[in-house]
Structures are given as C-alpha cells and as structure tokens.
Amino acid sequence: MPETLFPKILVPVDFSACSEEAFRVACALARVFSSEVILLHVVDTKSLEALNRLGLALPSEERAQRKRLSHHARATLRRLLSAEAAKGLSIRRVVVEGAPFVEIARLARSEKVRLVVMGSYGGSAGSVEKIFFGSTAEKIVRTAGCPVLSVPLPGRLPAGKGATA
C-alpha cells in the first residue's frame, strides 16, 4: 500500500470562527488522504499571567483558572468532534498549556506531523501585538518544519478569487 501524503494533520484551534473553518478544511483533507487528525488547543498561560499582573485575576486562583480553561477546552473540542465534518475520521484531541506557537510547533515536530491546517487569524491577539510579534500562524509557518495551510473565513476571499458560488 503506498504511503499517504499526509499521514498526520495537526489542527490547532482557539475556538474562533476562523479556526473552526480550518478544522472543517482539515477534516475534508483527512478524508482525501486517509489521515489521522490531531486536534490541539493550547491554554495560553501568558494570558493568565497578564490577567494576574493587571489585578483582574488573583494569583492564588491561577490553578483553578487553568483547570476551568482546560475543562472548557475539552468540552468545546468534544463539540467539534461531534460535527458532521468529523464523522468517521480518526481524530485525537490534545489540550496543553503554554505559549500557543511554541506548543503547536513542538507537537508538530514530536508527532512527525506532515501538515498543519490552521486559521489565518485567531480571536485573541490585538493589532499592536501582531505588528510587533507577528501572528501565531506566521510563527508556525517559520517553525513547524512542515507545510502549513492557512485558512481564512469563507467570506474573506477577495471578489473574483477562489471558488465561485
């Protein structure tokens, strides 16, 4: 049997509409290439630390905050796994803590992922942060060590480009 082009596809999601569209695209590709899908959510610990520094959250509650965020992530991933696009596919869900681009690149390398499919933008980074540090998608393109497919929202394609209605 010939080797599939993309035996493992990594889909990092932040639960934005764009990342959920990327999940649907990854599922379609997984059907074509008979791939395993790794559905990843990174609990962004830098955001928790920032909330604590700003006094918007108590440092003594950080452990409980992390636990709540991990629980919410697992519940939301279950919702994605029950979507029609995911039916019949081999999908493994992973929740980790850390800096999103670091954890995405680390998992891509350790799992020997052959394709990362992710939203072209997420819901959390402000425009100033993107100017100085780049988006998570851009960082993954530079560090993942495999092809990265960046998926925009369907309505974001310029007129006259892409699929026709």
Q: Topology of domain 8-153, per CATH?
A: Rossmann fold (3.40.50)
Give the ranges where 82-157 is alpha helix by DSSP (H).
100-110, 127-133, 136-143
Summarize pLDDT for 30-41 with one digit per residue, the tens. Answer: 999 999 999 999
Summarize pLDDT for 42-56 with one digit per residue, the tens. Answer: 998 877 666 666 666
Cβ atoms of residues 65 and 77 within 8 Å: no
Selection from 29, 33, 5 nearest residue 118 by Cα = 29
Dig out the tokens for 134 from the structure. Answer: 């780049």
User: Domain ranges in the chain?
Assistant: 8-153
